[in-house]
C-alpha cells in the first residue's frame, strides 16, 4: 500500500510537471510567433468585416433602385453575390493565416488546411443551393401557365430532390476527399441501418413511394381541385411525405401521399374551368312546350356565362329523367374559375337568375308530394267516384 501511494504521488507530480511544461511551451510559442498571430487575426477580422459591409451595402443599394420585375440574370447575380463575397473573404482570411499555419507541426497544419477546405466547400454548396432556388422559382412560374406541358408538381419535387442531392454530395466530398473517411464502409453500415429504419417506419416509406407514384402518374397538378375520400379541396403543395389541401372553408388539410395513391382521386377542374352540375325538377303538370321553354331559358342564362365559352366547355342542358314527383332537367356548366370564393359568387348569381326567369315564365318547381286514393263504400261500380287527396311529404 505505501508503494502504491508513492506511485500515485509521483504520477500526480508528473502530470503537474507536464502541464507546467505545456504552458511554458505555449507561452514561448505565442511570444515567438506573435507577429503571425496578429497578422492572422487582423486579416480574418478585416476580411469578415469587409464581406459583411459589402453584402449589407449591396442590399441597401438594391432597395433604393427602382422596383422593376427583375430579369433572370439579375436574380442569378443577386443569388451568387453573397456566396462569392464570402468565398473571397475566406480566401483572404486563409492567405492572411498562412504564415501562422506554417508554424504548426505537420498534423495541426494539415487539419487547418482541411478545415479551410471544408468551409470553402460548404460555402460553394450554399451558392449552388441559391442557384437551384432561382431556377426552381423560374420553372414554377412557367409551370403555372396552363398553356405548356411543364408540370409544377414535377418542378417542385425535382427542386427538393436536387437540393437534397447537393447537400449529400457535399458531405460525401468533405468526408472522403478532405478528411479521408472510408465512405464505402460508412454507406454499407448506413444500408443496414436504413433497412432496419425502413422496417420500423414503413408508413413513412409508403408515403415516400406514394410521392414517386404521384410524380410518375401525375393525377393532378398544384392548384387543381381534387376529391379523395372525405377530403375535397385545392392542392397547395406536395411534399416527400404528405400533400397540403385547402378545403372550401379555408381549412388546411395534410393528407399522406399513400392515401392519394391508394384511393380514387376525382379531379374537379380542367384548364382553369370548374365543373358544376345543377339539377332542377318541374311539376308533372308541366307541358312539353314549357319543358322546352325551360331548357331554352337555361341556355340563355348559362351560355357564355361571365365570358365566352370554349368549345369543349359549353354548357350541356337536357331533359334528364321522369322522377318520382318531378320532371328533371340536368345542366352541366363550367365556371371560369378555380377558387372557392369566386365559385360561390358565380353560383349565387346563377341561382338567382334561374329563380327569377323561371318565376317570370310561370314555371313551377316540384317538391315531394303523395296522392292518396280513397274508395268509398264496397266494391260496387255504381257508387260515387273515389276520393282523391294530395299531401306534401
Q: Say if residues 35 and 102 touch (Cβ distance below 8 Å).
A: no
pLDDT above 90 (res 47): no
What class is the 275-369 domain? alpha beta
Q: 154-192, pLDDT tens digit by residue? A: 676 777 778 888 888 888 777 776 666 666 665 565 555
Going by the DSSP 8-state scheme, the letter that residue 313 receives in this structure is G
Average pLDDT in the 80-89 region? Answer: 88
What's the pLDDT score for residue 139? 75
pLDDT above 50 (res 8): no
Q: Which residue has the cell 317570370?
A: 360
DSSP structure string for 57-82: HHHHHHHHS------HHHHHHHHHHH
Cα 31 to Cα 27: distance, rounded to the nearest angstrom: 6
User: Is the torsion defined by CA of 109, 111, 112, 117 positive or negative?
Assistant: positive
44 Cβ contact list (under 8 Å, min separation 6): 93, 96, 97
pLDDT above 70 (res 380): no
Q: Which of 240, 330, 352, 222 has its CA nearest to residue 282? A: 330
Q: What is the pTM of this model?
A: 0.50
Q: Say if residues 143 and 156 touch (Cβ distance below 8 Å).
A: no
Looking at every residue in the chain, the average pLDDT score rounds to 78
Cα 78 to Cα 7: distance, rounded to the nearest angstrom: 67
Which has the minimum average pLDDT: 120-124, 179-183, 378-382?
A: 378-382
Average pLDDT in the 64-78 region? Answer: 74
Cα 104 to Cα 213: distance, rounded to the nearest angstrom: 55
What's the pLDDT score for residue 197? 53
The fold of the 202-267 domain, in CATH, is SH3 type barrels. (2.30.30)
What's the pLDDT score for residue 140? 73
Q: How many CB atoms lie within 10 A of CB 330?
A: 15
**What percent of the chain has a predicted confidence (pLDDT) above 70?**
74
User: Is the torsion defined by CA of 46, 52, 54, 57 positive or negative?
Assistant: negative
Q: Say if residues 338 and 326 touch (Cβ distance below 8 Å).
A: no
Q: How many CB atoms lie within 10 A of CB 233?
A: 23
Q: 290-341, pLDDT tens digit by residue? A: 999 999 999 999 999 988 888 888 999 999 999 888 999 999 999 988 778 8
What stretches of the chain show up as alpha helix (H) in DSSP? 2-32, 34-64, 72-102, 106-143, 152-173, 183-200, 202-217, 257-262, 288-302, 340-361
User: Is the torsion defined by CA of 187, 191, 197, 203 positive or negative?
Assistant: positive
Average pLDDT in the 114-128 region? Answer: 87
Across 31-40, 249-258, 267-276, which has the greatest mean pLDDT? 249-258
Across 6-10, 51-55, 249-253, 348-352, which has the greatest mean pLDDT? 348-352
Which has the minimum average pLDDT: 92-96, 191-195, 280-284, 352-356?
A: 191-195
Amino acid at each position: 500500500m505505501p508503494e502504491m501511494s508513492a506511485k500515485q504521488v509521483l504520477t500526480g507530480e508528473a502530470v503537474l510537471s507536464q502541464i507546467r511544461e505545456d504552458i511554458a511551451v505555449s507561452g514561448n510559442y505565442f511570444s515567438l510567433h506573435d507577429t503571425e498571430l496578429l497578422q492572422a487575426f487582423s486579416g480574418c477580422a478585416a476580411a469578415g468585416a469587409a464581406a459583411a459591409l459589402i453584402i449589407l451595402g449591396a442590399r441597401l443599394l438594391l432597395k433604393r433602385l427602382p422596383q422593376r420585375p427583375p430579369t433572370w440574370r439579375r436574380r442569378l447575380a443577386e443569388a451568387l453575390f453573397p456566396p462569392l463575397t464570402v468565398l473571397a473573404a475566406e480566401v483572404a482570411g486563409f492567405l492572411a493565416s498562412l504564415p501562422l499555419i506554417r508554424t504548426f507541426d505537420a498534423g495541426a497544419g494539415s487539419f487547418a488546411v482541411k478545415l479551410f477546405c471544408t468551409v470553402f466547400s460548404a460555402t460553394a454548396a450554399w451558392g449552388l443551393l441559391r442557384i437551384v432556388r432561382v431556377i426552381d422559382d423560374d420553372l414554377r412560374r412557367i409551370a403555372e401557365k396552363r398553356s405548356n406541358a411543364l408540370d409544377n408538381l414535377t418542378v417542385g419535387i425535382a427542386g427538393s430532390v436536387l437540393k437534397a442531392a447537393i447537400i449529400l454530395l457535399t458531405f460525401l466530398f468533405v468526408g472522403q476527399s478532405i478528411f479521408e473517411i472510408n465512405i464505402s464502409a460508412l454507406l454499407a453500415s448506413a444500408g443496414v441501418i436504413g433497412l432496419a429504419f425502413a422496417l420500423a417506419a414503413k408508413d413513412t416509406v409508403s408515403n415516400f413511394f406514394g410521392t414517386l407514384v404521384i410524380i410518375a402518374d401525375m393525377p393532378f397538378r398544384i392548384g387543381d381541385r381534387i376529391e379523395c375520400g372525405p377530403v375535397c379541396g385545392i392542392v397547395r403543395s406536395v411534399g416527400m411525405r404528405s400533400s397540403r389541401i385547402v378545403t372550401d372553408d379555408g381549412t388546411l388539410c395534410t393528407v399522406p401521399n399513400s392515401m392519394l395513391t391508394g384511393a380514387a382521386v376525382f379531379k374537379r377542374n380542367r384548364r382553369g374551368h370548374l365543373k358544376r352540375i345543377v339539377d332542377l325538377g318541374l311539376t308533372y303538370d308541366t307541358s312539353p312546350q314549357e319543358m322546352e321553354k325551360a331548357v331554352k331559358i337555361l341556355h340563355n342564362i348559362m351560355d357564355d356565362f361571365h365570358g365566352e365559352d370554349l368549345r369543349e366547355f359549353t354548357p350541356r342542358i337536357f331533359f334528364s329523367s321522369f322522377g318520382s314527383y318531378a320532371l328533371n332537367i340536368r345542366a352541366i356548366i363550367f365556371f371560369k374559375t378555380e377558387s372557392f370564393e369566386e365559385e360561390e359568387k358565380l353560383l349565387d348569381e346563377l341561382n338567382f337568375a334561374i329563380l327569377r326567369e323561371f318565376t317570370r315564365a310561370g314555371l313551377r318547381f316540384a317538391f315531394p308530394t303523395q296522392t292518396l286514393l280513397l274508395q268509398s263504400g264496397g266494391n260496387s261500380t255504381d257508387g260515387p267516384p273515389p276520393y282523391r287527396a294530395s299531401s306534401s311529404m
